Structure 1
Amino acid sequence: MLLAAIVPGFSTVLNTPNNPNAQRMTMTLSLPKLGHRAGKTTDDRWQSITLKPGQTLSGVFEELGIPYDQLARVMQHPTIKPTLRKLRPGTVLSFNLPADGSVRAMRLEAGPGIGDSPIELEFNGDALRERAVPVEITTRTVVLTGEVGRSLFASARALGLGSSQLEQLTDEMFKYDIDFDSDLSEDDRFSVVVDQTWKNGQLVNTGPVQAATFTVDGHLKSAFRFMRDGKPEYFTPDGRSLKRPFIRMPIPYARLTSGFGGRNHPILGTFRMHKGVDYAASTGTPIQAAGDAKVEFVGQKSGYGNVVILNHGAGKTTLYGHMSRFAGIHTGQRVAQGAVIGYVGSTGMATGPHLHYEFRVNGVQVNPLKMTMPPPAPLTGDTLVAFKSDTRHALEKIREVENVVFQLDDGSRVASATPAPKAGKRGNRRKG
């Protein structure tokens, strides 16, 4: 079961259903009415028709009983005339048809072939006048919550979340706390707080995740977005950063094929030190920067083939070898952690497409899989106070919605102190 609870703001209190065991909650959402004239009472009666395959504009006019001479005026109007050629099934036409049987206005709703804004014509006797339709843009904070189900990706899509929001959940917020391949069960839950922008009653944009929780085995894991030093970052409720200085695996879900240490070289056939780790992936797979860095080198290096070297400061560098191509980066450029710097290939001394990844400290290669780096400094002082003030209502709102939607028949809460045992885990890969 999935639910989208529209929340005007974090501080607004939601109404709890009278039934404590209710499994659903719906909230009335008032959307703006197009064509409304402020301060004027009329007998406007708008009727909308969605064009079906084979349906024509003349057929719509005939169905609504609108005189042919009005259709002729519409067909010749300089703004509408070129648009009529682009009408297609699914286009929405709205007509203002007062009780006296006349036609007061016609509107082509925004959509493919029409544009981002409606086009409205006003009938006034023998005159036909184009009228500007007020554009009303509103931003609403919403809590979207649901069960993981058979696929987290599909469940998130059904709630209206896009790939960018899902990647924020899996790659930025809970990457180190949840194994999305094996930790989640179908009945585990997640809630997401986002800002949605509506234009004339139509959803046009969903912003980045402001806060989110996962309830896994009865344990509630939370993350909150907060601007630090002008950059967005995700934190735990007590102000600890969820970001790590370095990504251990620069290719998500890649397969480790060769570790750090001595081995027989697959091409040379001699025993020699392997001073990095290899991840197998198909040609063209994006390679990410392991951490914030300055590009130190982009080019070819003997057996490495196409290679990128990033300088992370404090004597730490990372090397990425055997790339098929680079991602438009250049020496001296600053790149953020997770930025795509190139693509998997098999250039240089390689038996097949893979990434050779090295981590160096003062020029000496070390095992990247055993590196332990201190996390970023937690929030303190006034910054921590501001963070807690901004996020307190978000967490309360998520918990409130979860308790309403997912309260169990026995009255137990979502994040119980003692988690109930589960029969087993079912993988939920990001792509579903």
Structure 2
Amino acid sequence: MSTITTEELSATTLLRFATAGSVDDGKSTLVGRLLHDSKSVLADQLEAVERASASRGQEGPDLALLTDGLRAEREQGITIDVAYRYFATPRRRFILADTPGHVQYTRNMVTGASTAELTVILVDARNGVVEQTRRHAAIAALLRVPHVVLAVNKMDLVGYEEKVFAAIAEEFTAYATELGVPEVTAIPISALNGDNVVEPSASMDWYGGPTVLEHLETVPVAHDLAHCHARLPVQYVIRPQTAEHPDYRGYAGQIAAGAFHVGEQITVLPSGRSTKISGIDLLGKPVDVAWTTQSVTLLLEDDIDISRGDLIVPSKDAPPTTQDIEATVCHVADAPLTVGHRVLLKHGTRTVKAIVKDIPSRLTLDDLSLHPHPGQLVANDIGRVKIRTAEPLPVDSYADSRRTGSFILIDPADGTTLTAGMVGESFASPEPVRDEGEDDGWDF
């Protein structure tokens, strides 16, 4: 592979993608093969893997060790934590999240896929689509990941049979389509042998589609956040109080979506106060415009009360504020989420008290039916919830913005993350239920 020049690298696009699948489906091996065959592994890293593999009695390098970095992962032979890897080819830069396959660590798949533009879901060709495959497909659909790749791995163990691949691809695609996944690309591979990972497979000449890397390099990437309604969650109020700038007051944060312009009329939520942007500082220098993912400081014409947790938005595109939130959630904690549960809700940079008023339904992964009014959600369940917050929050629909349409629920006792939520997302519209209310200080 040719050396990438600075000019070429700066001109390439960035793709964030995640891997998912059941235990022993070969996710870490696929990632290791992808890095190795694309010449993205340093010599000392490869040497370390070869030594570790030899100490375990393996004849060749175990490429899964390139991502399974925790001692517990190496000892158990499974992925536990999300492993992020950064690599590049002449055509594109990549941020890869290798997520765990064990049911116990499904919560980490939610983390890894939450910012992904593509998810690679692996299945073992011998086992086909299993419950964890369906769960990962459902999560990818809920998180609105635009592109899903079905990598049917271990084709070498089924004799590279086309009919095995075709049957799995048909079943998964039908299921994903029911979930609303917009695009599925199925690729037969052997991560262990490198078939169709970076180079085309000589053993599967019946397959005429792209390799995994070729698809990753060419899939369209639309950074739609730049075209969303502009949103800036305030992280910090800057008051340097220096002789040079005695009256400086700036509101700093990372732009979650859209773009802001000097002179633009803005509104601060939830207070509803309005003013205009008098200046934008980016990396210590004034600019006329700033856009999504940039960390900036906004200067405003009027001195109004703004603090951490507030949301700055264009006045013409201000979202509604509400204390009643309906959302689809993935429950990630070991303790169940129940009706009446007192929680903290974190949205952007703001955290408020909240109560779970109702759990209208839980999704059954086998047939995508809804189990009505389950009363609770346990670890890895996906369901609908109704939440009442102590203070009004400016929330977008998740369909409009993955950043400002999402939230997490936190246990106020110990800070444990309980649930990841997507505002307004739903697989169906369950019937409304009566609001029972609460009789204590957490009833808003």
TM range (shorter): under 0.3
Structure number with the higher helix fraction is 2
Larger radius of gyration: 1
TM-score w.r.t. the length of structure 2 is: 0.25
TM-score w.r.t. the length of structure 1 is: 0.26
Q: Which has the higher contact order (CA 8 A, sep 6+)?
A: 1
